[in-house]
Structure 1
Amino acid sequence: MARTRIPNTRLRALIEETDWTQGGLARAVNAVAAEAGMVLRYDRTTVAHWLTGSHPVPRVRPLVCEALGRRCGRVVTADEAGLAGQTPVVPAQLTPPDTGGLVGLLHRLSGPVPYRPARTRPANRAPGTGRAVGSARAPGARNSAALFFTRTLQAQGGGFARGTLRTYLAEAVAGQLRGTRGELRRERYAEASQLALVLGRMYADDLRNGEAQHCYLAARELAVTAENRELTVIALRTLSAQAYGLGHLRIADETARAAVRTAHGTPRAVRAFAQAQLAVTAASRGEREDALRALTEAEGGVVPEGAGRHPFESYARADFEFQRGEALLALREAGEAVPAFEYALAARASDDRRGTALTRLRLADVLLPLGRVDETRALERELREDGDGLRSAAVTRRKQELRRSLLRFGRGRG
């Protein structure tokens, strides 16, 4: 005998509360899914089926709850939405960053995790006195694992060696955190924070922003536990950059300002890293003077070109020029942004294939609307010659978008 479906009155009540149409909810779920690296093409008929009693597949249910929660301004549970059952549970907060907490975090990253903007808002908890970057006891000076995986990300993309890093964190690093005390404890937690940041960047490069956010939040908590102000700043700044890239501008700006506040008393490179992100978020809010002032302050902490420094100890010229270009774009000065992106491209290290590809793509994004089609085509050819083989979903998707954009101009059109 066929099962009789029960209409989902709870979901209908939430849709009425949000003042959305059925199509509006479908589009919001599609957008949340895109942040988690999923492609959904739901429409109003899909939501209509949910209202009559069918359920979205388990991996989509947290995304529906997240979309409704953003609109309502509060947490919406699967039970409240009438979707309770086999919904994967994504906790509102991370467990403490001890051995079990780190392993538990890694286990929770096995499936799609929704990106949650509200969780990026700066925490009230502040770190203690930080360790000086570059000192003999600083973890960055000897954390060869963080350097290795960072360079692997740059050369091969986020889809390469991510599983290896997860295993290393779960089986080696987490075990080292158990029972440590004093200075050794702080060093071990700082090392774990660095590796969690790198793992998050790998997930983000694969367009899995929910998982990346979990890693960044864990990195922040590990840094606070290590009483390492520098790594706390880096985690906050990274969370801000992620929020900005996903269009959550207010949260990105709040977090960038928290990073700048936390950076007082840290080395120049760390302060520069925070100020460069503030320049972008301030520019996006139309605060031109603040943005330009932040760029000036950030430039003072940039390392000379060609200086081989650990990525957690320095701020490279190529990365700064990329941020300068982003800030100028946000200020609607596309013509001025072009030289900044060109400088960033020229300053990229030869083994930073991922950074080079992303810089070419961003430069192409700016040149094409300016009518500089031939230059854009040249960049696209360089991407095909030098960028193929990268295991980077972010690069792959943006290359496809660039090719579609160029097709609109027609072959040979100048």
Structure 2
Amino acid sequence: MTPRRNTKFEALLAEAGWSRAQAASAFVRVAHENGLAGHCHVTRQHVQHWVSGHVPSGHSPIIVCEALSRRLHRVVTPAEAGFTTPDSPVRGALDWRVDPLTTLTDLGSTDLDSSRRRLLRGGVYSAAALTVPAETWWTEMARHPAAEASPAAKRVGQGDVENVREMTLAFSGMDQRRGGGHGRTALVEYLSTEVSRCLVGRFPSEAVRRDMFSAAAEASYLSGWMAFDNGLHDIAVPYFALGLKMAATAADAPLSGHILRAMAHQALDMRLPQKALELSTASTHGQRYLSATPRERALLGVVHARCLAATGHPQEASAALLRAEDDLGNAHDGVEEPSRTFFFGAASLSHETACALRDLNDPKGAISQFERSVRKRGPAFRRTHAVTLGYLGAAQVSTGSVEEACATWGKALDAMEEGIYSGRARQRVEEMRSLLSPYRRRGIPAAVELEARAAGYLRAVD
């Protein structure tokens, strides 16, 4: 039987202004970015077959829709393109109707089983997966009655909640020092065993139950953040979604805002500024911002400012930056702050402000803020310090200060070579090599030396 021409897909290609060959090139870029070597062979003939009505295999529908989403600056779903998508454990995590306990069981067991982990790694970071649930969903989750615990279930008290929080903070400290590529599997193991048993335990009160779900939500958020930091973008998304489900169950609005903020940060890194703005706007909506502490509000606000800058809203971005600065200024010793994994201080504010100024085409302002962040950053935040130095070097090169950039990148490599395993750090090294390429070809000694160090670092962490 002759397949029916896929006119939906054909219309999207026309809207994108892509030839078959250009669509194939964009597809391969997304596949390569997500480590899907088996999908990197796609050519214009494959695209023509899909237009003719042949069904793309494997995860090709998701990849091609992601490429179109980036081109069209809006979410393109497989259904809109006339495709179907493969089954995956990730789908349950991203379905807001699926119970969080079911999600945790499916996601954790798949992530920890090396023979099944490919079901997670076989996916692709997709804008279509990041649709923010309707406001009615948040209310319904908070009102959802607790499941009746088994008489044999563990009795869970406030001490157990504190144990989970302390363990999550320990993993967070490791992430800050060593990067997301060190220790994430151990965190997933803890989340899937000890924390999971607590979530189905017997609670002395509804308040303790909500506190436990909040603590579990932060552990899930951290697992997603560590995956994001290490470049495992497809794995990060379902853990962020799981964290949102549990934070909503706990009625923890500020934590929900912070998870949405992290998802916005990831979308920015994946060059989806409109999706990032949607997520950051949701992160600052209502009680997510209003019931947060000043330090928390500052973090939500400065990432929102970055999203506004990236989408071409300079005045709104500047106003948001000033609000974030004011919020952080209101965080003082007399204001009680929760022990969160996402500590935010002056160094972080300067780093995010610098990124916003860079996107607003103010390189000198960005350099000043990056330098301030480097001065303010403490030794406990080694990974972020290295990333900031990487950004600073790139900003210095953009203004023609090559010697300064080489010195800055040398310091970045000093930090990275002390055992940092981070995809974001690797990206800065790869960017450095690309920006220094013209100077290396001229035989400039500092550029040649940095190239050798960079290549050695990348070999060591691959």
TM range (shorter): 0.7 to 0.9
User: 1:2-31 CA distances to partner (integer Å, 9 max, x unpaired)?
Assistant: xxxx88655686235532432233233234
How far the C-alpha of 1:204 sits from its partner, in A, is 0.8
Structure 1 counterpart of 2:408, one-letter code: L
Distance across 2 between alignment mates of 1:297 and 1:400: 34
Cα deviation, 1:85-128, whole Å, max 9, x if unaligned, reads x7657525155343222121234552232222233343223366
Change (3 A) 1:314 1:379: closer
Q: Which runs of 5+ in 1 are unaligned?
A: 1-5, 130-135
Superposed CA deviations along residues 130-165 of structure 1, whole A, max 9, x for unmatched, are xxxxxx999689711121111111111111111111
Q: 172-181 or 47-56, which moves further after superposition?
A: 47-56
The 1:237–1:139 alpha-carbon spacing in structure 2 relative to 1, beyond 3 Å, is farther
- Partner of 1:351: helix, strand, or coil? helix
Q: Secondary structure at the match of 2:424?
A: helix
Report the number of matched residues: 400
Q: 2:443 maps to which residue?
A: 411
1:279-318 mapped onto 2 (5 Å cutoff): 279-302=305-328, 310-312=339-341, 314-318=343-347
Aligned position for 2:392? 363
Q: How far is the alpha carbon of 1:47 from its aligned partner?
A: 3.7
Larger displacement relative to structure 2 (201-210 or 356-365):
201-210
Identity %, equivalent residues: 22
Other-structure match for 2:105 = 103
Please list, as runs of the form range in 1=range in 2, the aligned pairs for 1:35-114 lying within 5 A after superposition. Answer: 36-38=34-36, 40=40, 42-47=42-47, 58=58, 60=60, 62-64=62-64, 66-67=66-67, 75-76=77-78, 80-81=82-83, 88=88, 90-91=90-91, 93-94=95-96, 96-107=98-109, 109=111, 110=117, 111-114=121-124
Deviations 1:294-326 (A, max 9, x none): 222212333679xx9844474221111111101
Q: Indicate the residue corresponding to 1:193 in structure 2.
A: 217
d(CA) in 1 for partners of 2:47 and 2:89? 22
- Relative contact order, higher structure (CA 8 A, sep 6+): 1
Q: Match of 1:23? A: 21
Deviation at 1:48, TM superposition (A): 5.3
Identify the residue that residue 267 of structure 2 maps to in structure 1. Answer: 243
CA distance in 1, matches of 2:190, 2:393: 37
Distance 1:372 1:163 in 2: 41
Give 1:406 shift: 1.0
Residue type of the partner of 1:408?
P
Of 7-16 and 109-118, deviating more is 7-16
Query: Which amino acid is the alignment partner of residue 407 of structure 2?
Result: A
User: 1:384 Cα shift?
Assistant: 2.6
1:171 aligns with 2:193: yes
Relative to structure 2, which stretch is displaced further, 279-288 or 314-323? 279-288
Query: Structure 1 residues 11, 88: closer, same or farther in 2, change over 3 A?
Result: farther
The question of whether the paired residues in 2 share the 8 Å contact of 1:150 and 1:198 is answered with yes
Q: How does 1:99-138 map to 2 (within 5 A)?
A: 99-107=101-109, 109=111, 110=117, 111-125=121-135, 126=138
Q: Is 1:234 the counterpart of 2:258 in the alignment?
A: yes
Aligned to 1:400, which of 430, 434, 438?
430
State how far apart, in whole Å, the 1-side matches of 2:199 and 2:164 are.
17
State the one-letter code of the partner of 1:63.
I
Per-residue CA deviation, residues 262-294 of structure 1 (Å, 9 max, x unaligned), is 311321112111111121122223333322222
Change (3 A) 1:37 1:349: farther
Distance of 1:179 and 1:29 partners within structure 2: 46
Cα distance in structure 2, aligned partners of 1:16 and 1:73: 15
TM-score w.r.t. structure 1 length? 0.84
Distance 1:30 1:87 in 2: 22
Greater helix proportion: 2
The residue that corresponds to 2:241 in the other structure is 217
Cα 1:341/1:116, change in 2 over 3 Å:
same
